[in-house]
Structure 1
Amino acid sequence: MTQPEPGTVVVTDAGSGRYTQRVSTAAHELLADEPTSVGGDDAGPTPYDLLLASLGTCTAMTVRMYADRKGIPLVRTEVRLRHDRIHARDCEHCETENGMLSRITRKITFEGDLDDGQRTKLLEIADKCPVHRTLSHEIVIETEPA
């Protein structure tokens, strides 16, 4: 298989397990899979692990870029994420009122000699990462045959 062009991701059966998928980008490859508890081989992160990884890496990179630009003495950022499904009625800040919805909990730890104002600003910047913005707005997914 030829590598996809930049900006395109190709997912194909890896051939090694029932659910194992090969994820290819222009410069990288990795495997994704389901855990053994649901019939996978646990050969890689789950689809939701990859979604959370996208948000977490984008968050940390966006915060790092801002800190570097502003001369903020940020040493390290840790982003911990979790995905859950909750009843809409249990969400006080959601537009959806019925059924279930997804909730992503993100906890961010900043290391460095930062004052309270810098920590607050970095948390604000975290919400501006492109993946956060994508997930927070309407998404249109168009499926078409190749």
Structure 2
Amino acid sequence: MDTIEVSFPGGKRIDAKVGNFVIHTDQSEKYGGSASAPEPFDLFLASIATCAGIFAWNFCEIRELSTEGMALHMDCERDEKKKLFSHIVLRLTLPADFPEKYQKGILRAMELCAVKRHMMDSPAFSIELK
């Protein structure tokens, strides 16, 4: 089992210890925080984009393809009625000299993103008191 330890250092700041790293979060001033770190939901969204990005980068590394000029942009469309995102679009800008024969392959690699796969086949959640 993977474990993440959460601490409450004060205000609206919430920290998560993941292995040897501490990830800091805070709420925006609008929601009573001091905006000293990203909000937890921002980290969730960033995990989608960075996960897809590492799969694209690994695809290139394995094939010894240049990643110079490669960029990834993620847009999130909101369903205002549900107050949830209804569509997430990842747009990968390929390097200028990226071979056409690998374009479908790099898209398939990005589909393997573990964060996306967990969202598509979501785990069960339990909340318990100790």
TM (norm. structure 2) is: 0.81
Displacement of 1:112: 4.9
1:1-146 aligned at under 5 Å gives the runs 7-15=2-10, 17=11, 19-75=12-68, 77-86=70-79, 100=82, 101-102=84-85, 103-146=87-130
- Of all paired residues, the percent bearing the same amino acid is 20
Displacement of 1:82: 3.7
Q: Distance in 2 between matches of 1:76 and 1:139?
A: 36
Q: Distance in 2 between matches of 1:81 and 1:46?
A: 17
Displacement of 1:40: 1.2
Q: Distance in 2 between matches of 1:23 and 1:84?
A: 28
Helix, strand or coil for the counterpart of 1:74? coil
CA RMSD of aligned residues (A): 2.3
Q: Quickly say closer, same or farther: Cα 1:119–1:27, change in 2 above 3 A.
A: same
Displacement of 1:125: 1.3
Displacement of 1:63: 1.5
Helix, strand or coil for the counterpart of 2:3? coil
TM (norm. structure 1) is: 0.73
State whether residues 72 and 118 of structure 1, in contact with CA within 8 Å, keep that contact through their aligned partners in structure 2: no
State whether residues 74 and 113 of structure 1, in contact with CA within 8 Å, keep that contact through their aligned partners in structure 2: no
Q: Distance in 1 between matches of 2:31 and 2:107?
A: 36
Letter in 1 for 2:106: L
Structure 2 residues not aligned, in runs of 5+: none
